[in-house]
Structure 1
Amino acid sequence: MVATVHVVDQGGITATRDPHYIGVAYHVLEVAAVLVAVLLLIGRVRLGWLLAVGVAVGPLLGYILSRGPGLPDYRDDMGNWTEPLGLVSLAVEGALLLLSIPLFFHSWRRRT
């Protein structure tokens, strides 16, 4: 779901947002989110849940920085705290974070 929200936000799989580093960050996030799903499906749960924490925290931090102080060469979203797709993104990433942290620690305790 995290990947889907960000693909929609950037305008499609082949689109890249400006500035370039933002577009690259979107693509890295999308690939990482798909990788999380694959890892969990093939049974690599500890690594999958750990990466899921990063997939959740990264965009949450990006949301706060892009709307608060702003990012270098990227001022489009400054102050835009109530954008509908941004709020959906916060909900999805927040849910993933709340799910992935305890499941990562559970998988850690089970194996050690």
Structure 2
Amino acid sequence: MSHRTAVVAEAAWAPRWAGALLCLVVAAIHVVDQDGLTATKAPSYMGIAYHVLEIAAVIAAVLLLLGLVRLGWLLAVGVALGPLVGYILSRGPGLPGDSDDIGNWTEPLGLVSLAVEGALLLLSVPLFVRSLRRRP
């Protein structure tokens, strides 16, 4: 392997590791927000959504680290976009059975979550699109 090929191969790892790390941080933030792995946030549909998000985030991280980038980046887009939409809906009009967060735009954990999810979205969308241009 030439030096240039080695540098390109090494560079390809950097965004995958970054994406995997961001996915795991999204999962961790939501575990903290629901008070642990075994807790389920109320209302129950929101608690289930948290658990699905956490599992999807771990799966996306594993896929990225294994080099299954097309599926990994697609799942990472969902891991970023889902909670962003949920944050906006829960703080704006509110969600069915959950009006506690309406107007609570500056909750510290929520702001950290927005930053991490925003970074993941900015990373994952272009890399997913690039993966579509490559042969399967």
Range class of TM-score, shorter chain? over 0.9
Distance (Å, rounded) in 1 between the aligned partners of 2:49 and 2:100: 16
> What residue identity is the alignment partner of 2:62?
V
Larger radius of gyration: 2
From 67, 84, 87, give the equivalent of 1:43.
Answer: 67
Q: Deviations over 1:44-96 (max 9, x none)?
A: 10000001101111000000000000000001111100000000000000000
CA deviation string 1:9-59 (max 9, x = no partner): 110011101000010000000000000011111111000000110111100
Distance apart, 1:106 and its partner CA: 1.3
Aligned partners of 2:87 and 2:102: how far apart in 1?
10
Instruction: Specify every segment of 5 or more residues in structure 1 that has no aligned partner in the other structure, as ranges.
Output: none
Q: Does 1:95 align with 2:130?
A: no
1:12 partner amino acid: G
RMSD (CA atoms): 0.8
1:32-71 matched pairs, under 5 angstroms: 32-71=56-95
Q: If the length of structure 1 is used for normalisation, what is the TM-score?
A: 0.97
Number of the residue aligned with 2:108:
84
Q: What is the distance in 2 between the residues matched to 1:73 and 1:94? A: 27
Find out whether 1:9 has 2:28 as its counterpart.
no
- How far apart, CA to CA, are the structure 1 residues paired with 2:100 and 2:34? 13
Aligned residues: 112
The TM-score normalised by the length of structure 2 is 0.80
- Please give the alpha-carbon distance, in whole angstroms, between the structure 1 residues aligned to 2:132 and 2:42: 39
1:19-30 correspondence to structure 2 within 5 Å? 19-30=43-54
Unaligned runs of 5+ in 2: 1-24
- Whole-Å separation in 1 of the counterparts to 2:94 and 2:84: 14
1:72 to 96, 103, 127: 96
